[in-house]
Structure 1
Amino acid sequence: MSDKPLMPKATAVWLIDNTALTFDQIADFCGLHPLEVKGIADGDVAQGVRGINPITNDQLTREEIEKAEADENYRMKLSKKKVVVPELKKKQKRYIPTSRRQERPNAIAWIVRNHPEVPDRVISKLLGTTKQTIQAIREKTHWNSANLEPMDPVTLGFCTQFDLDMAVQKAADERARLEAEGKLPEGATLQPAEDTTAAEEEEETSSAPDLDKVFANFGSSDD
């Protein structure tokens, strides 16, 4: 942790204007050169910089300033933080059982079908897969496309519900921003998931044989 205050020049401005400290004392506390502090006092350095009170942001105490004002040889010490912010642990990769890893394409298919607005790079990071695999599933050129069954990646254990919701929300916000700015790429008119699903069902229905016509023809055939 640094033993110098945040925004040292702004802190020096405040100390010059509000205390009787020497340039050397201010320079030592702020990590500046005494001549630089003198330049600030003369208005040649840090022009327009607004002073920051180191007392209100818990970097210095009034007692410490008074002690230094009474003894020009005293050097002030930065106050210790009252609240210690723990360091964030590096996020560990989610363990996926070997038996479930073969279900990854199904998880990809689920997101592609239900949330087509989520970009490939986000899906890749979320599910630990490659952009090539995602693209193949989007374009139905994946080697196992015919047998894929879209399945919720949360249920399969590939990600948490929170991570999935965040990915979907960010994608929606980004798309809304691009639309508002008129920067949405031409042709990028993503349909809602229910529309996509309905289209797929309609396609399957249209490809099925018309049983009414079959039975009608059967009834009208000659014996």
Structure 2
Amino acid sequence: MTEILMPKATAVWLVDNTSLTFEQIADFCGLHPLEVRGIADGDVARDIRGVDPITGGQLSREELDKAQDNADYRMKAIVSRHAELLKSNKPAPKYTPVSRRQDRPDAIMWFVKNHPEVTDAQIAKLLGTTKSTIESVRNRTHWNSPNIKAVDPVTLGLVGQLVLDEIIAKAAEKKNRDDLKKGGGTLQPIDETPAEPEFVPEERERRTAEPTAESVFGSNND
């Protein structure tokens, strides 16, 4: 079954204008057969105006004819470009199990103490919390402040080590870039290690003359 636009309005039109069974209409519109029966009896969707799925580009005439000729046939909807555009690309909010929610303030405190370069927005997204909660932990105005202690979120099982490392690395890189723009950057160019001078053995000092016995032991006249 493919999701269609205005399923109840489409069901109203199919009930009024076709010989389809309640099960066929329910399957195509994503409704319960009893709900379709309620539409036919006037108990459901009485104020809803029917919408033709054929002119709306959600159903072909061939599909409708096949279904009307065979009660066991289930119609296949045409994927609507409008329906695709209406789909949200925004990811679902991060869900944290209830058993883990009490650990989030500890993880927030860990970020506040150990990695102030990580922004509140990054922390909120990573831990599935809010900026106001982060601020209350930082300012110690959180209702449970006396019991909050800094604990690594990986230890708490709130995030994986690789994800945490990536967030911290990105935050540190951004902070360094911002500091450099302000003229107070911490990044220092790596000094090149001076090359050691090539070892050249010193030339032995050459004596001007070979030593003689007289020069060593002295003469007999002394």
TM interval, shorter chain, is 0.3 to 0.5
Higher helix share: 1
Larger Rg over CA atoms: 2
Q: What is the TM-score with the length of structure 2 in the denominator?
A: 0.39
